[in-house]
């Protein structure tokens, strides 16, 4: 579905050669509300438009949560670090994370025999380059830099030369398409839970079918025509990513959606409140 939307965009741009790329995308998003583009595809295009305004400081993995390797680590410890973290790449440093010297890719270690004398193992022999970027750099600029250099990991360095955070290519892509999960990501089995007698707390990625089954609320077929999740439904109703605390009434269906958690890029968590029948009548 996403590929189809991009094909539409690429074909559409041939008819608009006098407009710059940003205006082309804006025109496509604003003029294509008659369902030739799916809602999710339109979200992606809107996200591309705003990527230049997203600063790395707002999306980076903070220093305290960075998994990294010290160059003096023994081979068995390095292998265990990769196994436990589930990462394919990790930064490499000397003594302190404020002195990074590159990154280690797990595939460079595959096939190596465990050395008899692990103290003779030199991890730095397998290091690759890593990017160093300021927190003020935009996500779009870093995406371009990664494309040119083919280096898919960057450390965010503050004005004093210290390591502030970490950004990977996956982090940047998630700003466009939403969160990407792999087999190492933790999964919360409870995407939606009851919150009082008439309310439900839900991850924005909760499938609409699951929401209906859990809550007993029936959605109109039209609501479910182009979106699959609660987050997609909110975007469908508002045409944008709403701010935290915003209330979206769906009076005809008998509920309202409160945005519990969101950033400028995507909706993360919502609360659904059933609306009293008397309140529904007053709204008409």
Give the model's pLDDT for residue 187: 46
Domains of the chain by residue range = 2-53, 57-177, 192-276
Give the model's pLDDT for residue 37: 63
Handedness of CA 34, 35, 39, 41 (dihedral sign): negative
Give the model's pLDDT for residue 38: 67
Give the model's pLDDT for residue 26: 66
Please state whether the predicted TM-score (pTM) of the whole model is above 0.85: no
Instruction: Collapse the DSSP code of 94 into the 3-class scheme (helix H, G, I; strand E, B; otherwise coil) and give the result.
Output: strand
Residues 6+ positions from 117 with CB-CB distance below 8 Å: none
Element (H, E) at 99: strand 96-105
Give the model's pLDDT for residue 128: 95
Give the model's pLDDT for residue 6: 45
Maximal CA-CA distance, the chain: 79
Give the model's pLDDT for residue 10: 44
Residue bearing tokens 């680590």:
73
Q: Is CATH 3.30.465.10 what the domain over 192-276 is classified as, yes or no? A: yes
Give 5-62 as a DSSP string: HHHHHHHHGGG-TTS-HHHHHHHHHHH-TTTTS-HHHHHHHHHHHHGGG-BHHHHSEE
**What class is the 57-177 domain?**
alpha beta
pLDDT tens digit at each of 284 positions of the chain: 444 444 444 444 444 444 465 666 666 666 655 556 666 666 777 777 778 888 898 888 888 889 999 999 989 899 989 988 888 999 999 999 999 999 999 999 888 877 777 777 889 999 999 999 999 999 989 999 999 999 999 999 998 899 999 999 988 888 776 655 554 454 445 889 988 778 999 998 899 999 999 999 988 888 777 788 898 899 888 888 788 889 999 888 889 999 988 776 678 889 999 987 655 455 44
- Residue 146 CB neighbour total at 10 angstroms: 19
Give the model's pLDDT for residue 27: 66
| DSSP state at residue 102 | E
Give the model's pLDDT for residue 25: 64
Q: Give the Cα separation of 281 and 276 in Å (integer).
A: 9
| DSSP state at residue 123 | G
Give the model's pLDDT for residue 84: 86
Give the model's pLDDT for residue 165: 93
Give the model's pLDDT for residue 18: 43
């Amino acid at each position: 579905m996403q590929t189809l939307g991009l094909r539409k965009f690429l074909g559409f741009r041939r008819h608009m050669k006098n407009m710059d790329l940003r205006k082309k995308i804006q025109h496509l998003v604003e003029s294509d509300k008659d369902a030739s583009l799916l809602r999710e595809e339109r979200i992606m295009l809107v996200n591309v438009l705003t990527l230049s305004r997203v600063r790395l400081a707002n999306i980076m993995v903070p220093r305290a949560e960075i998994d990294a390797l010290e160059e003096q680590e023994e081979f068995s410890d390095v292998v265990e670090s990769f196994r436990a973290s589930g990462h394919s790449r990790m930064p490499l440093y000397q003594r302190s994370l404020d002195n990074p010297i590159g990154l280690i890719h797990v595939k460079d270690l595959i096939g190596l025999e465990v050395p008899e004398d692990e103290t003779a193992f030199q991890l730095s022999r397998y290091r690759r380059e890593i990017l160093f970027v300021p927190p003020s750099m935009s996500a779009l600029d870093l995406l371009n830099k990664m494309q040119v250099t083919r280096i898919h990991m960057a450390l965010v360095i503050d004005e004093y030369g210290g390591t502030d955070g970490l950004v990977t290519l996956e982090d940047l892509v998630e700003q466009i398409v939403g969160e990407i999960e792999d087999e190492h990501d933790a999964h919360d089995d409870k995407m939606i839970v009851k919150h009082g007698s008439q309310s439900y707390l839900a991850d924005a990625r909760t499938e609409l079918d699951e929401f209906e089954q859990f809550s007993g609320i029936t959605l109109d077929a039209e609501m479910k025509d182009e979106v699959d999740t609660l987050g997609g439904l909110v975007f469908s109703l508002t045409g944008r990513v709403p701010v935290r605390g915003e209330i979206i009434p769906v009076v005809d269906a008998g509920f309202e959606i409160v945005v519990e958690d969101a950033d400028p890029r995507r909706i993360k968590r919502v609360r659904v409140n059933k609306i009293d029948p008397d309140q529904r009548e007053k709204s008409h």
